[in-house]
Amino acid sequence: MRNPIIITIVCAIIVFTGVIVWWSGNEKYETSKSTITEQAKSEPQNQQTHSQAINDDLKKIKATFTIDWPAKKGNSTKYIVEIQNTSDKQFKGKIRVIPSTSSIMGSWSEDIPSLLPGERKTMFSFAEIKPDTKFSYEIEGSFFKFNQDVMPGLNYEIIRTNSGEGYMTFFVYTPKNDSETLIKICQDMKNKYASNLKIGFQIRFFGHKSVVEMKENFAAYAFTKPLNLSKLTLFNKETGVETVAAENI
């Protein structure tokens, strides 16, 4: 005959062991689940911060629209859009044009090949729109650090820009004022920026980064793209003498 006391003790041990195993496994599961949840919470926050930074930059690409009503092409009317980059970065992307009045196309996109900081570009196209059409727009694209990839051995920084239609003026800081260094800087900037400008550009060189005045530059470079002509001029503040240091570089 089996001892009932022994049977009771054995059953109690089995039940207690099962509870310990279940509790241990459940604790591991909850810990793992909690870790995954924290990761899932933190990732969207990082993505949101990154997206917010991108959206803030995109707001600095401004566009204004003008309808050139007499200009027609079939049933389509010419419209003009001026785009300006008010950020401190170079921008490449697209503008999505959304007219308030009905159009067969609904909305459409125009490429923005490149916009330097402060640069304005005027583009035009044709669409089936009315004279009282209002426009809204969406910008998408990428930004690039403006002073990136300076040629090794050169020490210069673009501190300000002024833009015209197809033309740019760069205000450049460099601690060196010898002709050889300035020629290399001109060549470096010509390789980077000339292809994006229809008319050309000029550079005014300064030995400081403070708010600059036109008369304070110690050298100037001008490049005219249609004629493929360029000239680097040095200014002597003491004597007032101007010297042509190089041409067609």
pLDDT one-digit tens code per residue, 155-181: 888 888 877 777 888 989 999 889 999
Position 34 scores a pLDDT of 25
Distance of CA 146 to the CA centre of its chain: 9
Q: Is 195 helix (H, G, I), strand (E, B) or coil?
A: helix
Beta bridge partners of 122: 82
Tens digits of per-residue pLDDT, 110-149?
A: 888 778 887 888 888 888 888 788 888 899 888 877 665 6
Cβ atoms of residues 54 and 86 within 8 Å: no
pLDDT category at 231 given cuts 50, 70, 90 is very high
pLDDT category at 205 given cuts 50, 70, 90 is very high
Alpha-carbon Rg for the chain in angstroms: 33
Beta bridge partners of 47: none
Instruction: For residue 203, give the nearest of 230, 229, 175, 176 by alpha carbon.
Output: 230
- The helix or strand, by DSSP H or E, that contains position 30, with its residue range, turns out to be helix 4-58
pLDDT category at 234 given cuts 50, 70, 90 is very high
Residues 71 and 122: their CA atoms lie apart, in Å, by: 16
Instruction: For residue 161, give the nearest of 202, 131, 128, 125 by alpha carbon.
Output: 202
Cβ atoms of residues 118 and 94 within 8 Å: no
Average pLDDT of every residue of the chain:
75
**Between these two residues, 27 and 186, which has the higher pLDDT value?**
186
Position 43 scores a pLDDT of 34
Position 232 scores a pLDDT of 96
Q: List domains and CATH numbers for the chain.
A: 60-145 (2.60.40.10), 157-247 (no CATH)
pTM of the model: 0.53
Going through 74-103 in order, the beta strands assigned E by DSSP cover 76-85, 89-99
What is the CB neighbour count within 10 angstroms for residue 200? Answer: 20
What is the CB neighbour count within 10 angstroms for residue 60? Answer: 16
Here the tokens at position 219 are 């050298």
Position 11 scores a pLDDT of 53
Position 143 scores a pLDDT of 83
Amino acid at 236: N
**Between these two residues, 81 and 131, which has the higher pLDDT value?**
81
